[in-house]
């Protein structure tokens, strides 16, 4: 990948990938480290120039997700703490902060699948590829994650 | 699950993503510079790897040759030389191990 195509790809993906990492981890410095590591591994993988942007993006998310899993395994961090101050920006409105806290109550796998389905708009096949799961298991996992997130939001008075 | 709830979750996720995306991250130029630096460092490390292994093999060959010579000399000489060689070994082997460890730590 040359500098020009990297810039274009980075501009397209960095903001959302950083937000994804931010929603999975609580350490701001770690987010930037993993962001850099994700792009580094993508460059090192030297995908062919003709690779479709969608596949490249999917590959990038697979790398980032694996890095998050490795980090969780190394820290034995399966659930973010109750205090979720670091997830949402300090200046954000209270409602957004509450949503961030509610999101943090979900299991890591539920957070990942919700993010990929509703923020990245990946289809089930793409989510399965990123999470290294069977495509058929994504639908029930997503339904469970939605139900749980809805419950958590309602309990916090944020539901409809 | 009713469609309205699914829509609500989708909207909530979009709002959360919007909040988290608002934070500024490193620019593309800065990231490209950092990644290039890391790629160069990795290429240098890969290029050095065979040299490091060759050095290790050389040390091992010297150690085996020395052990062979010591064994040969003890067979051919008297007890004084044997004792001297053993004492020499007792002194130099720990020093060699210490120096090897020091070199491995990157000084």
**What is the torsional sign of CA A128, B28, B14, A103?**
positive
Closest CA to A10 of B33, B29, B103: B29
Do A90 and A103 fall within a single domain? yes
Q: CA–CA separation, A116 vs A99, rounded Å?
A: 17
Q: Which residues contact A30 (CB under 8 A, 6 or more apart)?
A: A71
Instruction: Find the CB nearest B28 among A11, A118, A153.
Output: A11
Does residue A83 have a pLDDT over 50? no
Q: How many CB atoms lie within 10 A of CB A21?
A: 24
Do A73 and A87 fall within a single domain? no
Candidates B4, B24, B25, B46: best to mutate against A (most CBs of A within 10 A) is: B25
Would the CB atoms of A16 and B38 count as touching at under 8 Å? no
Task: Provide the residue-wise pLDDT of chain B in tens; the chain has 107 residues.
Answer: 556 777 888 888 888 888 888 878 889 999 999 999 999 998 888 888 788 888 888 888 888 888 788 777 777 777 777 777 777 778 778 888 888 777 776 55
Provide the H-helix boundaries in chain A: 3-24, 28-45, 53-75, 94-104, 108-118, 124-131, 138-155
Instruction: Evaluate whether ipTM surpasses 0.85.
Output: no
Q: CA–CA separation, A138 vs B77, rounded Å?
A: 79
Do A7 and A58 fall within a single domain? yes
Do A14 and A85 fall within a single domain? no
Do A1 and A25 fall within a single domain? yes
Do A159 and A101 fall within a single domain? yes
Do A49 and A102 fall within a single domain? no
Which residues on chain B place their C-beta less than 8 Å from a C-beta of chain A? 1, 4-6, 8-10, 12-17, 19-23, 25-26, 28-29, 31-32, 34-35, 38-39, 42
Which is higher by pLDDT, A75 or A126? A126
Q: CA–CA separation, A22 vs A17, rounded Å?
A: 8
Q: Is A142 helix (H, G, I), strand (E, B) or coil?
A: helix
The pLDDT-based confidence of A90 (bands split at 50, 70, 90) is: very low
A43 touches chain B (CB under 8 A): yes
Which of these three, A32, A57, A78, is where a domain ends?
Answer: A78
Task: Give per-residue pLDDT as tens, A41-57.
Answer: 999 988 887 888 888 99
Give the nearest chain B residue to A92 (CA atoms).
B19
How far is the alpha carbon of A86 from chain B, nearest alpha carbon, in Å?
11
* Extents of the domains making up chain B: 25-104
Q: Are A79 and A126 in contact (CB under 8 A)?
A: no
Q: CA–CA separation, B38 vs B31, rounded Å?
A: 11
Interchain CB contacts (distance < 8 Å): A and B: 98
Which is higher by pLDDT, B100 or A117? A117
The pLDDT-based confidence of A77 (bands split at 50, 70, 90) is: low
**CA angle, corner A111, sides to A106 and A117, nearest 5?**
140
Do A65 and A99 fall within a single domain? no
How is A92-119 classified by DSSP, letter by letter? S-HHHHHHHHHHHTS-HHHHHHHHHHHT
| DSSP annotation of B78 | -
Q: Domain count of chain A?
A: 2
Phi–psi pair at B26, nearest 5 degrees = -65, 145
Q: For position A136, what pLDDT does the model report?
A: 92
Which of these three, A78, A112, A128, is where a domain ends?
Answer: A78
How far is the alpha carbon of A16 from chain B, nearest alpha carbon, in Å?
6
Would the CB atoms of B13 and A115 count as touching at under 8 Å? yes
Do A90 and A144 fall within a single domain? yes
Do A24 and A7 fall within a single domain? yes
Does residue A100 have a pLDDT over 70? yes
Which of these three, A63, A78, A93, is where a domain ends?
Answer: A78
Do A67 and A127 fall within a single domain? no
A153 touches chain B (CB under 8 A): yes
Q: For position A94, what pLDDT does the model report?
A: 58
**CATH of residue A18:** 1.10.1740
Give the nearest chain B residue to A97 (CA atoms).
B16
What mean pLDDT value characterizes chain A?
83
CA distances from A137 to A131, B36, B49 (A): 11, 39, 44
A32 touches chain B (CB under 8 A): yes
Phi–psi pair at A76, nearest 5 degrees = 55, 40
pTM of the model: 0.71
């Amino acid at each position: 990948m040359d500098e020009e195509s990297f810039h274009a790809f980075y501009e397209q993906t960095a903001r959302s990938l950083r937000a994804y990492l931010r929603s999975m981890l609580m350490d701001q410095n770690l987010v930037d480290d993993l962001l850099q590591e994700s792009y580094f591994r993508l460059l090192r993988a030297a995908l062919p120039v003709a690779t479709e942007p969608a596949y490249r993006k999917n590959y990038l998310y697979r790398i980032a997700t694996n890095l998050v899993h490795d980090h969780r395994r190394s820290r034995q961090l399966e659930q973010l703490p109750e205090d979720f101050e670091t997830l949402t920006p300090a200046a954000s409105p209270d409602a957004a902060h509450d949503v961030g806290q509610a999101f943090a109550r979900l299991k890591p796998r539920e957070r990942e699948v919700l993010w990929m389905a509703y923020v990245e708009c990946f289809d089930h096949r793409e989510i399965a590829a990123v999470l290294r799961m069977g495509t058929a298991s994504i639908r029930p996992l997503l339904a469970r994650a939605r139900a749980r997130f809805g419950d958590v939001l309602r309990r916090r008075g944020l539901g409809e | 699950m009713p469609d309205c709830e699914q829509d609500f979750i989708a909207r909530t996720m979009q709002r959360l993503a919007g909040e988290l995306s608002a934070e500024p991250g490193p620019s593309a130029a800065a990231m490209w510079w950092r990644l290039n630096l890391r790629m160069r460092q990795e290429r240098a490390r890969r290029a050095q790897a065979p040299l490091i292994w060759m050095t290790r093999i050389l040390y091992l060959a010297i150690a085996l040759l020395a052990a062979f010579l010591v064994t040969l000399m003890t067979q051919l000489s008297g007890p004084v030389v044997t004792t001297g060689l053993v004492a020499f070994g007792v002194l130099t082997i720990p020093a060699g191990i210490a120096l090897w460890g020091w070199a491995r730590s990157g000084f």
